[in-house]
Chains A and B, each alone.
Chain A
Amino acid sequence: MVFTVDRELQSLPPEIAAKLSHLLKNLPSDAREPIVNHHFISKSFFEALGFLSNECIPDFKTGNGGDAVDYALRKNTEDDSFLHTKTSPYILVELKGRDINLEYGKGSYKTTVRQLKRYFLAPKCKSVQWGIITNSKHIQLFRKHGKTIFPATPCLEINPDNIVEITYQIRKKIEDTSRALTVAVYNNKGGVGKTTTVINLAATLTRQKKKVLVIDFDPNQHDLTDSLDIQPGEYKFYNCLKDKQNLFDIKQAICPYTKTFKGGITLSFDIIPVDDQLAKIGEDQIRQEISPHSLRKKLESLKYEYDYILIDAPPNWRYYSISAIYAADVVLIPIKPNDINSLRNTAITIQQYIPEIQQSRQEKTQGLEWGAIALPIFFNGGNITDAVKVRVKNAIAKIINQAKLENNFDLTSYFFSRYIPGKNTSIFEMPNSAYIANSAFDSIPASYRYKVAYDYYSQLAKEYFIQ
């Protein structure tokens, strides 16, 4: 559902801003949930976010057992009143009292986030795009794109002095919802099948009627460009990246990849191929002309054009991969299960590299954006026997323990997507397939050519992206 957006809004209307700040100031320091709700959230906060009272449904049933989220919000349209139809919610809000500590990393914070994620994936919440958790002392905004959930802001501390600005910033984000999810496919070890994953995911998502852009951002290998036999056009991606004055339109660097099937059906996705110029220029010179945030800025103009932007990042931690992850919302990490080193490298990526990027994104956005997060890993190919599985699980357990002891970093959810203490340690496995391996020479994505390959990648897409 698309809503008309008042893009002219420069700040909250003064009377609404004054009320918001005043009500927050008057909340008792031990206010429990009903007080926070009655005297602040429903009285003023929703109004400040741009929602009328008949656009907010309390105790919204999510359709998952008896689950109900504190509030669901959605703008009314001419012939559809949210209060009456109770369909297509747009934002979910999970409220707490001030007795529940929502400071980032605390136990009660984690429980609340888990609760919100459960609501997000419930049957009646498919249309939801955003989620908010708050106890009137902290607030955090989450984005939901299909099945993918990631923090859109850090967990922010709020007080009567900053509430107006923070509410305004949140409102700006929810009124400007990006169509695209930007995914970097990365592992700092080579040969784990990154390029194959990108190509086949793109092809599979296209078969499911999604509009996809693929960026080959590995100039030293340009496997992706080669394997689909793409001839870059006149227009140079290098020129576009180094242009800081917005003189070049990135759309000119895009080449379509189209496949026509028997029966006349055509499927196509777009590619930004490698610019050979980039491979010739040394990294030192690149860094003189292009910033790590340049790619992200250039992609801004495409975020309403595509459903997915997939970036094939090179295996190292230098300019190209740093830019790719800086530009991404989420990072997808394929792993070869029989390679313990790639597991260790992944742990380093998740607890060291990605947080560096997050820190930099937070600094550059005055603490308003969280930066890319890693999705849970998946095993890419390699027929895994039960014996190997046990060894891998033990190795992962060791890595998780070490990270907890040495860095106080909890890696569990990055390895086990469905983790329940003591029980579910399953990891998504992409089976070995001769079809997929051999089609590297075909210049056609395996998931266009072989039904089995499509089935596999379709399951991968549903694991991470499609709800």
Chain B
Amino acid sequence: MSNLSDVGNLMYLDLEIIESDIVPNTSEYLINATAQELSSTDGRNWIPLIVKEVAEDSYQVIGNNFIYSVAEAAGLEKVWCIIADNSETTAKLSRMLAREEVPRINLSTASTEDIKSALEYLIEQPNTPLKTIDILKATNRIDEAPRQYWQDLNPIINLKCGITRGKKVKALEKVFYLTPEAMPDEIKDPKVLNTLTTTELKKLAKKRGRSGYSKLTKAKLVNLLSQ
């Protein structure tokens, strides 16, 4: 960074010129009790706010919103801030580092350990719909499924591992995303073929120049295409 930029600096800024648009999901109690503790000492926030410069003398919080709320409640006029750059990736990373956003992992390529620890994390959350999931069973079935081709998380429903349609599979979106590979046309693995719909299977049969497939059931289509 050049000398003209504040990025990376620790600065003592007026609370007035900083805006915070995310309302942190934290109890009044934690904010007010911490604010009292802060006011009863020298009023210095030793853990800084992370902000970005949106215009000259105008800043926006990208991490540690809790500290912003506390400073406000304690009636501080100025707070210590670290100036971050303007990129969206920095903002996202800062939210993760401040534990304001849950990071997601790529389920198309994740290791079995990463899948297991992500499921464990979800199950430990209060009010999770996944409370009754058998972790080892779910981890293993997801791990061994052809997930590199999944377009969305719905094939998990068919794995019969207790993760059903609706809010259970929805809950997984909190930690998983996908970068699906294109499915090679010549694929023959019945495990993979079974994840396709009947229409998709018929399209595949046509591509491979098969005939007499139009009236077949899904099971028979899979059988035909796996030969």
Residue numbers of A with Cβ under 8 A of B are 430-431, 452, 454-456, 458-459, 462
Contacts and interface: CB of A to CB of B under 8 A. Distances in A.
A456 B112 contact: no
B144 interface: yes
Contacts of B113: 462
A117 B33 CA distance: 45
B188 interface: no
A452 B137 contact: yes
Given A431-B134, A452-B137, A459 B144 contact: no
Contacts of A452: 134, 137
Query: What are the 3 tightest A-B residue pairs by CB atom distance, in nearest-first order?
Result: A455-B140, A459-B136, A455-B137
B112 A459 contact: yes
Given A430-B136, A455-B137, 20 more contacts: A431-B134, A431-B136, A452-B137, A454-B140, A455-B136, A455-B139, A455-B140, A455-B141, A455-B161, A456-B136, A456-B137, A456-B140, A458-B140, A458-B144, A459-B112, A459-B139, A459-B140, A462-B113, A462-B140, A462-B143
Residue of A431, A454, A456, A462 ringed by the most chain B CB atoms within 10 A: A462
Nearest to B134: A431
B112 A462 contact: yes
A136 to B, nearest CB: 35
Interface string B104-122: 0000000011001000000
Contacts of B137: 452, 455-456
Contacts of A459: 112, 116, 136, 139-140
Nearest to B138: A455
A454 B134 CA distance: 13
Contacts of A431: 134, 136
Contacts of B116: 459
Interface of B: 112-113, 116, 134, 136-137, 139-141, 143-144, 161
Chain A at the B interface: SS class = helix
Nearest to A428: B136
Contacts of A455: 136-137, 139-141, 161
A419 to B, nearest CB: 15
A459 B139 CA distance: 8
A458 B138 CA distance: 12
B183 to A, nearest CB: 23
A431 B134 CA distance: 9
Contacts of A462: 112-113, 140, 143
A458 B136 CA distance: 9
Contacts of B136: 430-431, 455-456, 459
Nearest to A466: B112
26 contacts: A430-B136, A431-B134, A431-B136, A452-B134, A452-B137, A454-B140, A455-B136, A455-B137, A455-B139, A455-B140, A455-B141, A455-B161, A456-B136, A456-B137, A456-B140, A458-B140, A458-B144, A459-B112, A459-B116, A459-B136, A459-B139, A459-B140, A462-B112, A462-B113, A462-B140, A462-B143
A140 to B, nearest CB: 26
B109 to A, nearest CB: 9
A273 to B, nearest CB: 30
A458 B139 CA distance: 10
B222 to A, nearest CB: 13
A456 B138 CA distance: 10
A50 B150 CA distance: 45
Residue of A452, A454, A456 ringed by the most chain B CB atoms within 10 A: A452
A459 B135 CA distance: 10
A454 B143 CA distance: 13
Nearest to B120: A426
A230 to B, nearest CB: 28
Contacts of A454: 140
Contacts of B134: 431, 452
Residue of A430, A454, A458 ringed by the most chain B CB atoms within 10 A: A458
